[in-house]
Amino acid sequence: MALEITNEMLVGSLMPVVVYWVYGGLYTILGYSCKSYRLHPKEDEDDKNFASKETVIKGVLWQQFRQFIATNLLYMLTRGNDGGASSGQSASFFVIARQFIVAMFVFDTYQYFVHRYLHQNKFLYKHLHSKHHRLVVSYPFGAIYSHPVEGLLFDIIGGSLAIYVSGMSPLTSAFFSAFCNMKSVDDHCGLVLPGNPFHFFFTNNTAYHDLHHQLYGGKYNFSQPFFSIWDKILGTYMPYELEKIEGGGFKLRPVKECKS
């Protein structure tokens, strides 16, 4: 079997990167003009975070380069497998919808347990996951900022597993990965915009994940990026309420006492 990168594979690996920066750029612009829907003041992105935006951008670009390599390796290694991630067969809408649902469940399940363990294991949190939590006030293009090893565990292995188990073609996986990137950017955008379709279809949304990023929320709301089912089943779900602030914006408050 010849190992070569096809045009379909290039589209599959580059589309999520382009979508990440375009969608993140859109939310960055909206962050300046939609102050009345912000969870945090714009200046808090610099004042309360422990990583500069330059550092974050470099870290995200490095993560995306590694994802590009891993995605194309997955495509090459699974090409020709019946039902595999790159079978190349055209699929109906219902087949693609089924693949999306399977991939979403696999990705969510994988990420919940890895994410929770990275918080519970003090060594792994200190040396790996704490890098992502340097962004106490999250913003769009910091969505996948993380330690390289965590990026491998979370996005590269988790995403590859979801794509392989669901049997997606490279083109279908491109749309799925782009969709995951849009959801991740949305979860970290810091804006609670009216009419946001992600907020309509998913209770695991911007405010839900923002609570997890706060210093008091590190033991709650581990689920990502789609559903909140594992938090609710395993007792790590923290409901919240949004209080409108005079002068614009929202105040996020947990409705139960958070354990220290």
Tens-digit pLDDT string for the chain (260 aa): 455 667 777 887 899 999 999 999 999 999 999 999 999 999 999 999 999 999 999 999 999 999 888 888 877 777 644 444 444 456 799 999 999 999 999 999 999 999 999 999 999 999 999 999 999 999 999 999 999 999 999 988 999 899 999 998 888 989 999 999 999 999 999 999 999 999 999 999 999 999 999 978 889 999 999 999 999 999 999 999 999 998 889 999 998 877 76
pLDDT of residue 260: 61
CA distance 71 to 204: 26
Query: How far apart (Å, rounded) are the C-alpha atoms in residues 58 and 117?
Result: 26
Question: 3-class DSSP state for residue 168?
Answer: coil
Question: How many C-beta atoms lie closer than 10 Å to residue 6's C-beta?
Answer: 15
Per-residue pLDDT, 5: 67
User: Whole-model pTM?
Assistant: 0.91
Nearest to 228 by CA among 192, 194, 199: 199
**Cβ proximity of 156 and 72 under 8 Å:** no
Residue 89 burial (CB count, 10 A) = 10
pLDDT given for residue 55 in this prediction: 97
How many other C-beta atoms can be found within 10 angstroms of the C-beta atom of residue 41? 15
- Report residue 252: phi and psi, to 5°: -90, 125
